[in-house]
Structure 1
Amino acid sequence: MNGFRKFMMGRYGGDQFGMFLVILSIILCVIFLFIPVPYISLLSWVPLVFAIYRMFSRQIGKRQEENYAWLRKWGAVRTWWWNLKNRAKDSKTHRCYKCPGCGKKLRVPRGKGKISITCPQCGNKFIKKT
């Protein structure tokens, strides 16, 4: 164990992007089990090999930049999914409108008939049916 610890000194190691690549490799491997095309299962090894390369890399700065870029993209996807899930959950009780002045999304209760909506950001008033 001490030899491996010595070998890993100065190397990047694992991170969130590497974990994503390993999970992607496993998912692709399972998918390609059901596709009877020769040599296509080798595609499932590409993310795994890249994850191992990143783990043993000595270029720590570049690997950190890759991880940071992936975390930014993944954060945007997570936020989009979270908003979609919340909008679907609230769709029975609330309605979402966009302010025509500034474009801010406003959430108003359903079943109130025609109401006047005031945007808290720009103060624009508009009438919508809920």
Structure 2
Amino acid sequence: MKEKLQRFMWGRYGNDRFNQFLMIVALVCLALSFFGLRIFYVLALALLVYVYYRMFSRNMSKRSAENQWYLKKEMKVRSWWQRRKKLFAGHRDYKIFQCPKCGQKLRVPRHKGKIAIHCRKCGEEFIRKT
């Protein structure tokens, strides 16, 4: 049986990260459909059909391009989230100011009173209360 499945899948695209994401979205839609929202059931079925279409497709270059598009979008979201996480982690110890001349973000320690902040990018110096 395993050999038959392997022979069937030979030359077909298979599973990738985009398919995994679509399956998770389909499961979430299916869970939402239990609350009486019929549109989510239809959406879940449509997503599952699309997932299997991609999985059994023989057009590998097109499926790979779709996956690369998804990975690019996912990386943007992940990097945005990492920046937010890093910014939030230091919000108790540091305060962020923007340089009035060039707009560069500058991180300075909190609870130091009024201090002169020197921008490394443009050399502007300004005074702010931390």
Per the shorter chain, which TM-score range? Answer: 0.7 to 0.9
Give the match for residue 6 of structure 2. 5
- Equivalent runs, 1:59-98 vs 2, <5 Å: 59-98=59-98
Give the match for residue 17 of structure 1. 18
Residues in 1 aligned to 2:61 and 2:102: alpha-carbon distance in whole angstroms = 40
CA deviation profile, 1:15-45 (whole Å, cap 9, x unmatched): 11110000111111111211x2445411112
When residues 102 and 51 of structure 1 are mapped into structure 2, their CA distance, relative to the original with a 3 A threshold, is: farther
CA deviation profile, 1:47-84 (whole Å, cap 9, x unmatched): 22211111111111111111111111111111111222
Residues in 2 aligned to 1:102 and 1:58: alpha-carbon distance in whole angstroms = 52
CA deviation profile, 1:80-129 (whole Å, cap 9, x unmatched): 11222222222111111233344332221111122222233333333222
Letter of the structure 2 residue corresponding to residue 49 of structure 1: V
Residues in 2 aligned to 1:57 and 1:12: alpha-carbon distance in whole angstroms = 6
When residues 5 and 76 of structure 1 are mapped into structure 2, their CA distance, relative to the original with a 3 A threshold, is: same
When residues 47 and 38 of structure 1 are mapped into structure 2, their CA distance, relative to the original with a 3 A threshold, is: closer
Residues in 1 aligned to 2:45 and 2:104: alpha-carbon distance in whole angstroms = 44
TM-score if structure 1 supplies the norm length?
0.86
Unaligned stretches of 5+ residues in structure 1: none
- Equivalent runs, 1:33-112 vs 2, <5 Å: 33-34=34-35, 36-38=36-38, 40-112=40-112
Cα RMSD for the two superposed structures: 1.8
Residues in 2 aligned to 1:25 and 1:125: alpha-carbon distance in whole angstroms = 54
% identity of equivalent residues: 42
Post-superposition shift, 1:9? 1.4
Unaligned stretches of 5+ residues in structure 2: none
With 120-129 and 55-64 compared, the bigger mean Cα shift is at 120-129
TM-score if structure 2 supplies the norm length?
0.86
Letter of the structure 2 residue corresponding to residue 12 of structure 1: Y
